[in-house]
């Protein structure tokens, strides 16, 4: 089995390199900065709290995967990610789906670390340890949409639209939240199924 410390340093180096490469001439420097405020705060928090609270290795992997996706989105400004255009053509969509995909990934990848946090920090039990993480992801997703709306209204309309990425869809906020919600539900279902398997194996 791979050494945990090595793996974690590897993740950090990977993210550092990726971030640096994507920080070079992003599509829209202001939007890039705006998108990265929260991401950098998250990385900073993880590094600073590492001594006091350590996530499991799978959690760190999931978090890094999400942050990598977000770094790509921030570099190109979400609505103009090449991979999204490619997907749009392939599936015949009317919009670039990359941001929706990352919203889904947000719920899908981060609900597991959140569950770990709640179980270990708060000691939440059986039923709540499945319900609360999903609810938490949905809530954070809603909070994010609120913050987005405020930013879009305060900051210049042009940058606001780039940051918001509604791409002219009036139901964009609800669809984004739905994406995060279904991602979280999917992971939770997997966790429940795997737990069941593990229990039956032990028997």
Q: Which residues bind other proteins (CB under 8 A)?
A: 121-125, 127-128, 132, 134-143, 145-146, 148-150, 153, 170-171, 173-175, 177-178, 181
Least distance between other proteins and beta carbon 112 (Å): 17
How far is Cα of residue 37 from the mean position of the Cα atoms in its chain? 14
CB nearer other proteins, residue 85 or residue 128:
128
CB nearer other proteins, residue 122 or residue 193:
122
How far is Cα of residue 202 from the mean position of the Cα atoms in its chain? 33
Report H helices in 24-56. Answer: 29-48
Least distance between other proteins and beta carbon 153 (Å): 7
CB nearer other proteins, residue 18 or residue 178:
178
Least distance between other proteins and beta carbon 141 (Å): 6
CB nearer other proteins, residue 53 or residue 86:
53
Angle at 68 between CA 63 and CA 69, to 5 degrees: 100
Least distance between other proteins and beta carbon 53 (Å): 14
Least distance between other proteins and beta carbon 178 (Å): 5
CB nearer other proteins, residue 81 or residue 177:
177
Contact yes or no for 115/129 (Cβ under 8 A): yes
Cα separation values, 192 from 21, 69, 179, 187, 196, Å: 38, 26, 20, 9, 6
Long-range contacts of 115-123 (CB under 8 A, 24+ apart): 115/188, 115/191, 116/55, 116/56, 116/59, 117/53, 117/55, 120/53, 121/53
């Amino acid at each position: 089995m791979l050494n945990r410390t090595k793996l974690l340093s590897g993740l950090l180096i990977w993210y550092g390199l990726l971030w640096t490469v994507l920080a070079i001439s992003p599509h829209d420097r202001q939007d890039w900065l705006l998108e990265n405020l929260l991401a950098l705060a998250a990385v900073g928090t993880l590094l600073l709290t590492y001594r006091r609270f350590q996530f499991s290795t799978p959690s760190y992997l999931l978090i890094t995967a999400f942050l990598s996706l977000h770094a790509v989105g921030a570099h190109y400004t979400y609505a103009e990610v090449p991979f999204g255009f490619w997907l749009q053509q392939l599936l015949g969509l009317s919009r670039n789906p990359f941001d929706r995909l990352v919203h889904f990934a947000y719920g899908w990848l981060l609900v597991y670390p959140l569950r770990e946090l709640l179980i270990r920090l708060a000691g939440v039990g059986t039923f709540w340890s499945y319900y609360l993480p999903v609810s938490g992801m949905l809530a954070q997703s809603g909070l994010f949409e609120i913050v987005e709306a405020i930013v879009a209204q305060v900051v210049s309309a042009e940058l606001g639209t780039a940051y918001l990425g509604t791409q002219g869809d009036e139901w964009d906020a609800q669809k984004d939240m739905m994406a995060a919600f279904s991602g979280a539900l999917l992971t939770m279902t997997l966790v429940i199924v795997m737990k069941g398997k593990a229990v039956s194996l032990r028997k």
